[in-house]
Amino acid sequence: MSEDIQIRSKDLTQLIVPDWVMNPFYTELQTVELEIKEQLAELQADIEARIQFNQLEYLSFWVQTKNILRMPLLWQRTKLLILAFSALEKFKRVKWAVSGNS
C-alpha cells in the first residue's frame, strides 16, 4: 500500500506553485500572467488584505469567502492548488500511518 501511495502522490509532490500564490504581496506584477495581473495589483494595494495574509497561513487566506468573491480569477487558479495540497497532506498522513509512524 505504501508503494501505491508514493506512486499516486508523485504528481502532487512535483507540483509547481506560482510565487503569487505563496506570497501575493511581494510578487512582481511583470512576472504574472496578463489575465490575473489586474486582480493581483488590486490585492497588493489592499492594506487590510496584506495584514490578514500575514496573520493567516496562505491557504487559509485564499479560501476566505470575501477573497473568493472579490478575486474570481485568482481564486480560479488557487482552488486547484488548494485541492492538490489537501490531497497531498492526506497522502502524507496515510503514508506515515502505513509506514509504522516512522
Q: Is 15 helix (H, G, I), strand (E, B) or coil?
A: coil
| C-alpha cell belonging to residue 88 | 497531498
CA 77/CA 67 separation, integer angstroms: 13
Indicate the DSSP class of residue 29. Answer: G
Residue 93, in any domain of the structure: yes
Residue 37, in any domain of the structure: yes
What is the number of other CB atoms lying within 10 angstroms of the CB of residue 62? 21
Residue 19, in any domain of the structure: no
- Structural domain including 41 reads 2-6+27-98
Number of structural domains, the chain? Answer: 1
pLDDT at 62 over 80: yes
- Which comes out higher in pLDDT, residue 47 or 83? 47
Mean pLDDT of the chain: 83
Residue 11, in any domain of the structure: no
Residue 12, in any domain of the structure: no
Q: Percent of the chain at pLDDT above 90? A: 40
Average pLDDT over residues 17-36: 93
Looking at the chain, the number of H-run helices and the number of E-run strands are 7, 0
Residue 74, in any domain of the structure: yes
Residue 22, in any domain of the structure: no
What pLDDT, in 10s, does the model give residues 27-53? 999 999 999 999 999 999 999 999 999
pLDDT band at 5 (very low <50, low <70, confident <90, very high): low
CA 30/CA 88 separation, integer angstroms: 30
Residues in the chain, overall count? 102
Residue 43, in any domain of the structure: yes
